[in-house]
Amino acid sequence: MKTEMGPDETGPEAASLARLAAVGYAIEFRADEASRTLETPDGRRYRPEDLVIDHVARIEHGTDPAGQAIVFGLRSARYGTRGTYCVPYGPIMSRVDAFIVDRLDRRGERTDASRAASGVGDTGEP
């Protein structure tokens, strides 16, 4: 069973996904509950420990906890694969998503706030 977190096609998730896709994060990773891995649409699987977080965007829709999400820009250091992983944020996050997020490699992480402070994003880069 795979977890499903479909982004709003017109909201902030869509904007974050579009910015990431524009710089090469075009693959959509999905959590596979049985294997506790991230899977690509073509069936390749990655252990969360093997994916580096390059970008993070936290999305909030008002005060509704169900409207919160995190969009990750992930990269396989070994294979160079880049893609996105979108999950609900907070108490509605599934167990498999929490397991995966906890094990992602954070050494390359950049948040929206750090990009804003550095000026990245003004040129269309995430």
> What does the buried/exposed string (b/e) look like for 39-55 if buried means 16 or more CB atoms within 10 Å of the residue's CB?
beeeeeebebebbbbbb
CA dihedral of 98, 114, 78, 50, whole degrees rounded to 10: -20
CA 121 to chain CA centroid, Å, is 17
Q: Is the pLDDT of residue 28 over 80?
A: yes
Q: How far apart are CA 114 and CA 98, in angstroms?
A: 23
Q: Which two tokens stand for residue 84?
A: 């996105």
**Residues 6+ away with beta carbon under 8 Å from 121:** 19, 112, 115
Q: How many CB atoms lie within 10 A of CB 3?
A: 16
- Three-state secondary structure call for residue 73: strand
- CB 26, CB 41: distance < 8 Å: no
Residue 61 has pLDDT above 80, yes or no: no
pLDDT level of residue 102 (50, 70, 90 thresholds): very high
Q: How confident is the model at residue 12 (pLDDT cuts 50, 70, 90)?
A: confident
Task: Please tell me the distance from the alpha carbon of residue 120 to that of residue 126, in angstroms, as a whole number.
Answer: 7
Q: Which pLDDT does position 14 carry in this prediction?
A: 85
Q: What is the CA radius of gyration of the chain?
A: 14
Strand-pairing partners, residue 30, are: 39
